[in-house]
Structure 1
Amino acid sequence: MTAYVALLRAVNVAGTGKLPMSELKRMGEECGFGQVRTFIASGNLLLTSDLDEAEVRARVAARIAGHFGKPVPVFVRSAGEMTALVTGNPFTDDKPSRVMAHVIDEPPTAAMLAEARQVGGERMALGPRAIYVSYGEGIGTSKLKLPAVAAGTARNMNSVAKMAALLADMA
């Protein structure tokens, strides 16, 4: 049995991507996953399954698409991968709330970082199927344009660390 988190893009409790976390939990249970729970109201579904990552993603994506009537990007990471995101954070000198792990589908490359525009005080680094960005003064004032993460989803390092710990307890 593997512990996974399914990270949904642009899902929250209000606005256009409204999805109550109780509904997300129910969807996970209907997919047949074990130990289903959510973490904060931003589209994080923690679960256990004997299925591989691709099948977990397919099942969650199908349920979410049925709810919204359109596809919603879903990114699945194992407990080990979430721990690797935490231990690989190169910006431990910044507040965890100001460091984002932008989760993407493919392994990141230096060329992706080279495409960044309007870089102010932000620092960027490659991670495991993610790009770390330290926003220094805060994400709210950043003008950073990073095309490689446009189709991904991001979580701050406080959330990543907490989910990694929760998943480790589930494994």
Structure 2
Amino acid sequence: MSTPRIHLLRAVNVGGAKLPMARLRELAAGLGATEVSTYIASGNLLCVPPGDPAAFDRALEQAVQDEFGFFREVISRSADQLAAALAAYPFAPAVSGHICFLSGVPDPDRAAEFCARDFGAGEKLAVIGADLHLDYPGGAGTTRLSAPVIAKGLGVPGTARNLRTVATLIDLARA
């Protein structure tokens, strides 16, 4: 039996990018994934992908674009990778903690410069590997740190989840 992975789609069911989770499950199964499930309606897909996970991610991106007319990155991790990111979270206790899972490891100098910037709401940032750890003291709704700002600043796109969602995804993938 293969191990389920967590496939995170960036920015679905916000800003007009409507993607029903039932249809996402169908698309994944149609691409050969097994043990397919979703968690909440924000682009959290759990499944055992056929073959190479990165190739599955690209195929899922294409399937979503073909059917819904918008492109959204798919970034996947194993439950162990999510657990390691959660364990490495440096801002305890977090007020409003998130981890932005990046599509790759950003350039270290660029990451250091980005994390040193003041975004105006007291955000705390740290890049650890291919993950951007965030704490929003005023809540995530007060920040100017949008996905495009992060992608431009770090040179790689990502998708963020709050710490509670990350913990739940780990539990679901390991169940």
TM-score by length of 1: 0.86
Structure 2 unaligned regions, length at least 5 = none
The CA distance in 2 between the partners of 1:90 and 1:23, in whole Å, is: 36
SS of 1:107's partner is coil
Residue 169 (structure 2) aligned to one of 142, 145, 163: 163
Once the two structures are superposed, what CA deviation does each residue of 1:96-148 show, in whole Å capped at 9, x if it has no partner?
xx111111112142532413342441111122311001111212122345422
Give the corresponding residue for 2:61. Answer: 61
Q: Does the CA-based 8 Å contact 2:37-2:45 persist in structure 1?
A: yes
Residue 154 (structure 1) aligned to one of 157, 160, 171: 160
The CA distance in 2 between the partners of 1:54 and 1:143, in whole Å, is: 30
Q: Does the CA-based 8 Å contact 1:101-1:157 persist in structure 2?
A: yes
Give the corresponding residue for 1:131. Answer: 132
Give the corresponding residue for 2:85. Answer: 85
Give the corresponding residue for 1:106. Answer: 104
Q: Which deviates further from its counterpart, 45-54 or 142-151?
A: 142-151
In structure 1, what residue type is equivalent to 2:160? A
Once the two structures are superposed, what CA deviation does each residue of 1:22-77 show, in whole Å capped at 9, x if it has no partner?
11111111111111000111011100135222122122112111122243211111
RMSD between aligned alpha carbons? 2.0
CA spacing shift, 1:20–1:158, aligned 2, 3 Å: same
Give the corresponding residue for 1:121. Answer: 122
Q: Which deviates further from its counterpart, 2-11 or 139-148?
A: 139-148
TM-score by length of 2: 0.84
The CA distance in 2 between the partners of 1:62 and 1:122, in whole Å, is: 34
Deviation, structure 1 residue 9: 1.0
Deviation, structure 1 residue 151: 2.7
Provide runs of 4+ in structure 1 moved above 3 Å: 143-146
The CA distance in 2 between the partners of 1:2 and 1:56, in whole Å, is: 14
